[in-house]
Chain A
Amino acid sequence: MSEHISASTVKQEIIQTYPTKLARRRMKQIIVNDVKEDENVPEIQANTRTIPGIITMRGCAYAGCKGVVLGPTRDILQITHGPIGCAFYSWLTRRNQTRPYTENDPNFMPYAMSTDMQDENIIFGGEKKLKKAIEEAIAIFHPKAIGIFSTCPVGLIGDDVHAVCREMEQKYPGINIFGFSCEGYKGVSQSAGHHIANNKVFTDVIGQGDLKKEGDFRLNLLGEYNIGGDAFEIERIFRKTGLTLHSTFSGNSTYDEFASAQNVDLNVVMCHRSINYMAEMMEKKYGIPWFKVNFIGAESTAKSLRKIALYFGDNDLISNVEKVIKEEMEEVDAVRLEIKKRCEGKTAVLFVGGSRAHHYQDLLKEIGIQTVAAGYEFAHRDDYEGRKVIPSIKVDADTRNIEELTVEADPVAYRPRKSKEELEQLTKEGIRFNDYEGMMPEMPTETLIIDDLNHHELDLLIEKYHPDLFCAGIKEKYVVQKYGIPMKQLHSYDYQGPYAGFKGAINFYKEIDRMINSKIWGMVKAPWHDEPQLTAKYGWE
């Protein structure tokens, strides 16, 4: 890394490559961090339109809804209503691992299903084909629930997928059939799709079932998608500490667990961006408190477990959690300290997702790697600056188009899990209910924060910072590596993992050690490039 390059200089140098109009827009999305008292940080513009023609990292609402939130659920049969592409691209590409309880339990995840709309469906409407497709799916797969996902043309031609779902539900009582209006053009990124998914699952699934899992400390884990087995590792730790995980939204999950998710006493939130709506709505309707956790990083995992134990307030649980942490940390520290020797002082930049760019900084810090620049693909201001800024976020037209549900306490099912006094006491002890501090307050002053990083800026960042490690997604992977810089995918984990929890931390340390210290980077330049062109000897020599 070039030492002492200031974030302000980098910002300035990026901005000056843009024509005036673009520069004005990007100025507000490229921010030099400055952490003041009470976690106050500068305002960043986020969740605004992608600039046309800019090579963006972002995807669409369909990807956020079908791909991210619902995709990991194995027994909700999912039909994409639209031309073939969207179903094809979201077919198994996100690595959401799942483990059915038995050999015979349903698992539809390896099946991509689509209505494969043709031109006549675009012209005359696709509802008839959708109905037929649902009937065919029921005949073959006998699902207990079906989700229908709308793609761009569906909204434009006016297919009413919700009416189709209602009609099919009447025809097939006992099957819960619901539709998502997650057309790709909705909102400005995947984020709109998350919200659409949260809303529908909340109104049509949660509360429909009454599965109760045994245990004194029952909780849901929200916003954990089991990439590379992360959720399996968290499940292992929960079991070991005596916590009962009722349902994960949505890694390694089932319909019945979703449908009875109200039967818990706590919701903990991993990916704030994609699932905070659900946590909020469940709190309002059922009285289930929520707080933010982070199981990425061994220290963060320990911290999160302690918070959960504190919340339940049981002495046995608290001491058990401490025991587990102590036991697990022994192995973690042995590996960590060894690897830290080789990684200490290295730098990283992280541009990914709506949470991971924040979470992974903890993990990198544990082996001495500093994050010098970071940003999200599709986050909102609250993910950067903290939830305290929510009231001041300007709601623009693109956001207004995404339904905001009005939720009230359920006259029957609402049950406060803790008294007001208990919540106040827990808050005093450090649990921040309904809150997320955001990424920026946790990053040092003078780091560079960029929202919706684009290819042009990625190029410049590499040139200015020469980071030792770059973390982003598949589209960036090989661009960065062509520069001779190791690149870690933090969406797919480069087909490895898990990286969550204690065992995950160990995996990650080892992987980063391998990447940064691999011999192959030293071979990129052929040896003769350092030698003079002519090395032949004269015959008489």
Chain B
Amino acid sequence: MLLRHTPDAIVEREALTVQPAKTCQPVGAMYASLGIYRCLPHSHGSQGCCAYHRSSLTRHYKEPVMAATSSFTEGASVFGGQANLLEAISNIFNLYNPDVLAIHTTCLSETIGDDVAQIIAKAREEGRVPEGKYIIRASTPSYIGSHVIGFANMVKSIVEGFSEPGKKMDHINILPGFVEPSDMEELKRMVKMMGLDSVLFPDTSGVLNSPQNGHYEMYPKGGTTVESLKTTGFAKATLALGPIASGPAAKLLDTKCGVQYELLKLPIGIRATDMFVETLKRLGGVIDDELEVERGKAIDAITDMQQYFYQKKVALVGDPDQLVALTEFLTDLGFSVRHVITGTPGKKFISRVKEAAGTDAINVRESSDYFYLHQLIKNEKVDLIMGNTYAKYMARDMDIPLIRIGFPIYDRIGHQYFPTVGYKGALRLVEKMLNALMDYQDRYAPEEQFELVM
């Protein structure tokens, strides 16, 4: 057994997290920053943070992930990181020439209380920031929230840095949430298909799923351009997908620039995608035949195959916005969603999941971990687990099929290329679930019940 020390008996823990179901804010902030065209993320802290975040994102995407660091030493930690950040700013613009520098903090610089805004002002005063270059900053202490909150904070900082109030124009803003580049691409496609102009940000498509053509580009063709970001304050509305990841930025766009927002579930599954499409329709979008066909295909696959989902028990682990939408989708498919666990803190998560499942009789926890989920499953076995790569250890020990969703996925590809949002995403998830469940059935069915046609 890989996890031979996990006892069946659940004893509540107050202080010890075992097998975390979250990581820290800065990695989310770094990911969000990569969704701006020609932006270099910068980690203000020890270089280890930056190395860990870059490694983590690289393993997840199998793509170059560029970011700089203030490389604190013990001296900087005692006397403050101003000198390091000033030197870093000069070096970065000299050597790497980004259009935007997106600085996020770490637990180190937050604990010592560095005033990053003041340091940036000083850098400008000292002429370290070339004309026409932008610096945005987000406070992302690792001891609050999770990687999802870090993402949300950086998206909010993008609004702080670029959105200005002004005369309303005809386009809309889409805040995609902490989703994959493939999802961002799919959302843009759907909005365009409905005839709407949009600015989607951040947008990591093209950045973290860039083509192999024999040329390395430090700033690949992808990411929301500064030009587009500057128009976000003039949009007629914002669609914020996922309240945790996109809520703060949407609210700021409203208070700062008067852009009204709609807070929606991530469009994962039929109902959540319907809601997304209907909202776009209300904003002037046209639902054409092609979109109807896409929806119809997804529904068709579900009606054809729903027997394989019916009353199958499932455990979900990951990030709050994804889990709420997935719970709704899986419940619609006929699954019995039994355990839903996130490491990200936030009490609202519990009521959202229960509402999506349409029942209170479900194990839901925030600020929790994989260890607890494993114990829950030991006590009430499930037929399917959906979670990130770390779920493979318990899945193997208990011989339960696993579908990888969320972050990080270190051991499979696909998430960077194929979406899980929209109708196409729903169809892809349905296929993945069927494959997992049917492969399992094929492996374990008694010989006389081994089915040719399924």
Contact = CB atoms under 8 A, between A and B. Distances in A.
Contact of B49 (A133, A139, A184): A184
Interface string B141-156: 1111010000000000
Contacts of B26: 85
A54 B91 contact: yes
B74 interface: yes
A459 B215 CA distance: 11
A79 B13 CA distance: 14
B212 A524 contact: yes
B94 A110 contact: no
A98 B393 CA distance: 15
B161 interface: no
Interface string A130-149: 11110011011100000000
A481 B66 CA distance: 15
Contacts of B46: 60, 152, 184-185
Nearest to B70: A52
Contact of A152 (B54, B87, B111): B111
Interface of A: 17-19, 22, 49-63, 79, 82-93, 103-104, 106-108, 110-119, 121-122, 129-133, 136-137, 139-141, 151-153, 155-157, 183-189, 397-398, 401, 455-456, 459, 473-475, 477-484, 524-525
Interface stretch (B15-23, B197-205, B281-289, B307-315): B15-23
Given A59-B52, A112-B19, A152-B77, A132 B14 contact: yes
B5 interface: yes
A17 B143 CA distance: 40
Nearest to B89: A53
8 tightest A-B CB contacts, nearest first? A60-B48, A85-B24, A53-B88, A53-B91, A132-B15, A83-B142, A184-B46, A89-B52
Given A58-B47, A153-B143, A188-B73, 9 more contacts: A59-B51, A85-B107, A111-B371, A113-B18, A130-B15, A131-B15, A184-B72, A455-B66, A474-B59
Given A103-B1, A478-B58, A52 B143 contact: no
Instruction: Name the residue in A52, A130, A480 with the highest tally of chain B Cβ atoms < 10 Å from its Cβ.
Output: A52
Contacts of A83: 24, 107, 141-143
Contacts of B27: 85
21 contacts: A19-B94, A50-B47, A53-B91, A59-B51, A60-B46, A86-B52, A89-B53, A111-B19, A114-B17, A119-B143, A131-B15, A139-B11, A141-B5, A152-B106, A152-B107, A153-B143, A184-B47, A397-B75, A459-B216, A479-B64, A482-B217
A112 B16 contact: no
B343 A84 contact: yes
B77 A185 contact: yes
A281 B12 CA distance: 43
B72 to A, nearest CB: 5
Interface string B69-113: 111111111000000110111111011100000000011100110
Contacts of B96: 55, 455-456
A88 B87 contact: no
B91 A108 contact: no
Contacts of A116: 17, 20
Interface in B25-74: 26-27, 42, 45-49, 51-56, 58-59, 62-74
A140 B143 contact: no
A183 B76 CA distance: 13
A84 B21 CA distance: 10
Contacts of A152: 45-46, 77, 106-108, 111
B303 interface: no
Contacts of B84: 52
B452 interface: no
Contacts of B167: none
Contacts of A483: 214-216
Contacts of B64: 478-479, 482
Given A85-B27, A110-B393, A62 B15 contact: no
A252 to B, nearest CB: 16
Given A60-B51, A111-B371, A153-B143, A88 B20 contact: yes
A139 B107 CA distance: 30
Contact of B23 (A88, A115, A118): A88
Given A82-B107, A116-B17, A475-B58, A53 B143 contact: no
B51 A401 contact: no
Contact of B142 (A85, A106, A397, A481): A85
Contacts of B162: none
B4 interface: yes
Contacts of B141: 83, 119, 122
B62 to A, nearest CB: 6
A129 B143 CA distance: 14
B296 interface: no
Most buried by A among B48, B90, B393: B48
Contacts of B293: none
Nearest to B66: A55
A152 B72 CA distance: 10
B74 A186 contact: yes
A52 B91 contact: yes
Q: Pick from B76, B85, B95 the residue with the most CB of A within 10 Å.
A: B95
B111 A153 contact: yes
Contacts of B212: 481-482, 484, 524
Nearest to A92: B390
A121 B143 contact: yes
A51 B5 contact: no
B73 to A, nearest CB: 6
A84 to B, nearest CB: 5
Given A63-B48, A86-B52, A119-B144, A140 B108 contact: no
B302 to A, nearest CB: 35
B435 to A, nearest CB: 23
A155 B77 CA distance: 10
Contact of B111 (A91, A110, A122, A187): A122
A478 B216 CA distance: 9
Given A112-B19, A185-B77, A51 B14 contact: no
B16 A115 contact: yes
A274 to B, nearest CB: 16
Contacts of B15: 115, 129-133, 136
Nearest to A122: B143
Interface in B411-449: none
B358 interface: no
Interface string B205-221: 00000101111111000
A58 B51 contact: yes
A52 B23 contact: no
Contacts of A58: 47, 51, 71
Nearest to B55: A474
Most buried by B among A79, A110, A401, A481: A110
